[in-house]
């Protein structure tokens, strides 16, 4: 069993839709949770960074962490064609040195 599970999609939505992306994990030592966006043939870039449980909002993006359920989510409001990319969840232990990634969800937002 993988430490981090993420539905690979692909996910296709119309412009303006609300998108929900999710990951589950098994390692209860994970404390920092991140979402990266990766465009085709590019490196991942950090979108959201949260510590422990709770919500964090940044513009059209909201990240949620539920440590009791070992479940994290990323919501994208008013999705745009430019949001079309692969979204990777990632997490790390407090004293850890390595990020553990999900396999990524491929999102397409259609104009």
Partner 1 sequence: GAGVSQTPSNKVTEKGKYVELRCDPISGHTALYWYRQSLGQGPEFLIYFQGTGAADDSGLPNDRFFAVRPEGSVSTLKIQRTERGDSAVYLCASSFLSRGGELFFGEGSRLTVL
Residue 79 or 102: the one with the smaller Cβ distance to partner 1 is 102
User: Which range binds partner 1 by CB under 8 A, 14-22, 42-50, 55-63, 69-77?
Assistant: 42-50
Smallest gap from residue 111 Cβ to partner 1 (A):
25
CA 85 to CA 46: how far, in whole Å? Answer: 13
* 32 touches partner 1 (CB under 8 A): yes
* 101 touches partner 1 (CB under 8 A): yes
| β-bridge partners, 110 | 14
CA 49 centroid distance within chain: 10
- Cβ(51)–Cβ(64) under 8 Å? no
Q: Return the structure tokens found at 81.
A: 């064609």
Residue 32 or 61: the one with the smaller Cβ distance to partner 1 is 32
Phi-psi region of 20 (alpha: psi -120 to 50; beta: other; left: phi over 0): beta
User: Which range binds partner 1 by CB under 8 A, 14-22, 53-61, 70-78, 96-104?
Assistant: 96-104
Residue 82 or 97: the one with the smaller Cβ distance to partner 1 is 97
């Amino acid at each position: 069993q993988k430490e981090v599970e993420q539905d690979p999609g692909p996910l296709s939505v119309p412009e303006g839709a609300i998108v929900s992306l999710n990951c589950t994990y098994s390692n209860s030592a994970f404390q920092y949770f991140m979402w990266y966006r990766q465009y085709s043939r590019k490196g991942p870039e950090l979108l959201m960074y949260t510590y422990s449980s709770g919500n964090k909002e940044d513009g059209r993006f909201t990240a949620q962490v539920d440590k009791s359920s070992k479940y994290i989510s990323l919501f994208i409001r008013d999705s745009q064609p430019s949001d079309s990319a692969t979204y990777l969840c990632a997490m790390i232990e407090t004293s850890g040195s390595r990020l553990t990634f999900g396999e990524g969800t491929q999102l397409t937002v259609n104009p």
